Structure 1
Amino acid sequence: MPYMRKGIRVFIVLLLTILLTIFLSSYVLAIQDKSVYPSTISVGGLPIGGLTRQEAVEYLHKAGPDRWANPMILKVPASQTTMERSLDEMGLTYDLDATLDQVERLIQNAEGPYPLNHATIRGKTHNVGVILRIESSQALYSQLNQIKKTIDRPAVNARVLYKQGSLEYRAHENGRIVDIEKTIHSLLHHPWSAQNNTVQIITRSISPAVCIEDIEDIQQLMAVAAVPIDLPPVQVQALQQAVDSIDGMILLSDDKIYFPRDLIKKDSDYFWSQPVLDLLMQIMEESCQMAQLQYQRINHSGFIVSNSLPHPILISLQIEQGQLFVRLFGCQTVAGREVVVIKEQQPIPYNEKIIRDSSLSAYERQLVQKGQNGMVIRTYRIVKQDGRELERSLLVEEVIQPRDAVIHIAPAVVLK
């Protein structure tokens, strides 16, 4: 029995010694970690163990660009398509201060109570990705606008075609656009490294302005007009392209269409030649007067048709037996249903680019280019039933890129 009590005392002493050693070691490591980073920490594949924060900044600033020189690969969702851009082209740069802040949060939030967590952080290696920041808003939004031109796909409005006295309904199709706001968030929160340089472009669905469910029935023939076609064959072909673009269009109440600017098809040399435009102006002006729609001629460049009536209008345009026919029908909507289109604007702040200029006198600053905010303009389709909003969907997102302010400063000026 005495031997057993002695053995227990020895075991307790050994256990306390081990625990005290671990605690003291962890405490020493905690004190050390306040001055230098643990040996198991890397940033973008570059080890920073044993370095102070200032030393780590200087080391990463010097060694990082070569190590992280791989171009950014932008991947289009649900596709094999990728695009390469350098960080300079994207207007992005490394944010080393924010990256080291993340390293320090990793150390502080390691598992276990203080100071034991400073021992557990050394249990495995940690490679922290480099955080990026915007250096030039102008360059970033310029690149995103170029990418949008490649990826964006417009939505297609519903149509109703009038053929030989019968109606053919064609359903709408949704489109897609690059989601600027979420793509920038993806870029700035991507843990950058030489091996981890692929970033997902974020897209979102967009709706057409006119959906098939907006029209319950075609109610009445409001106007019909015809003009003879006295054009050479090549112009008749161009006229047919214009007719195909307009035929079956639905003009909602309080909406307007600027012909030909608002039409999608713009790739034909003869699509809106002057003889074709003059013929369309003539027949549309006549039919709009019959249906009491507002018609406005824009010199010789086009015309605007506005619908101030309380119901949608169907535009039927056809070539029949050497004549151009237009028929305007009134459309019946679901009782109590209302579709409105609104616009919202969101400013894009500009960045300041500071350039040291040895030609300036001491402490002199010179504004070379004034900054200007950009703008994101979003157009939404809102569906209401008996005055209550049921649905809000994005139709169009237009991005006006900002212009950076460029400031030259003398070498002696201290930046804060």
Structure 2
Amino acid sequence: MKRLPEILEGKFIFKELPDGSLDKAVVCCTMCKKEFAYHRSNSTLKYHLRAKHGESAGPRGSSPRPGAKKRWRMPDFDEMTAELDEMTVFSSEMRPMSPVSHCEPIDTSLVETDSLVNTHSAIMCDTKRFAVPILDLESFLAAKVKLRQEGALDGTLKANLEYATRLLDTLPAAKRRDVSMLVEGERQLVRFTAGTPSLQYTVRHGGGALGSPELLQRVETGARLTLASIAKAHFAGHRCRDDFESCMERAQQVVAATGAGAGVGASAASEAGLANVELKIACGELQLTYSTTHPQATIEIRPQRRVNLGRALTLEKVVEVKSGLERSGAMSRGLQACFQHLLANHSQYQGENKRVVLQSNGEVVEMISGRHDYHNAQHYIVTGLDDQVQSHTVQDIDLWEDE
């Protein structure tokens, strides 16, 4: 009897057809005889071994040492789609969402016209559309399976879909209903539509730090931008960089002030609004644009990082701020040196109504204790090109003398 070619040390073999030939697109598990689609990738097979048989992908017969505890590991995006992939290929009853695929130009009402779409996007013509009740994990996994089966899942699209999947944990339900999401690939666009979209997302690659994926949000306001256009739901789940004046409050003030500058009162400005403008808010991970029908001018809001220390600066609060910057990836080498200096000398900066400014290579972090509009002392901790720390203090009396 001839020996069939083996995969993963004999735990899988190619399916043998009735005429004796091998179907190299299908493999069978030698332990449970289950069949799998095979695309020269072993991730699905390894996941099956762990999930169904509690084994690793090592040689057949290998097992953990006696008494060793099995450690559960959260499956990655590829592994989660592996089981869906099997079911889709071998079950005629399962029908994932059927996208509409056709050639179309990029919808310029959805995407930023200046730099949102990468250069290669100009030649994209294929858009896969998925109609879903809500943006959720199941929808994204089913879409990835469908794209992979059709050979449309390129590296950029895969990375952006994974990023979009991770975002689901941070988006409240209100920001996953009545929305649309456009996910960019190298030569493929994927659009999810949930309900009647009032908020439009775009996930693109190459615009963020080190070319990482980023999320852009856009709200079409119609002919005019009014105070009613700036909804609290658009900022749900977002923590503003400024603890004293949120980016939502600043956006509302811009609309009201611009209307007042045109000679109308606050209530009239609320109703009349602004025409032919787009309002861009860039605050940490939030990149939100309000756009009228025919924008001819751009208003930008970029809040500086201002931290409310409460009554006085404490060591615990400094550590909390430092850890938050590190988790968000906003901590540069220069700011790290500033924080180290502050932690080593924190007793010098304690007290009420003080302002501590950390600055390095154009990055600024303000930490304010007591009143945010009055400071009896201001401390500046800065670094130069060599990341050497220098500090300077300006007392209240020095400010009076300057005046």
TM range (shorter): under 0.3
Bigger RCO of structures 1 and 2 (CA < 8 A, at least 6 apart) = 1
Q: Taking structure 2 as the reference length, what is the TM-score of the superposition?
A: 0.19
> As a proportion of its length, which structure holds more strand?
1
Q: Taking structure 1 as the reference length, what is the TM-score of the superposition?
A: 0.19
Which of the pair has more CA radius of gyration? 1
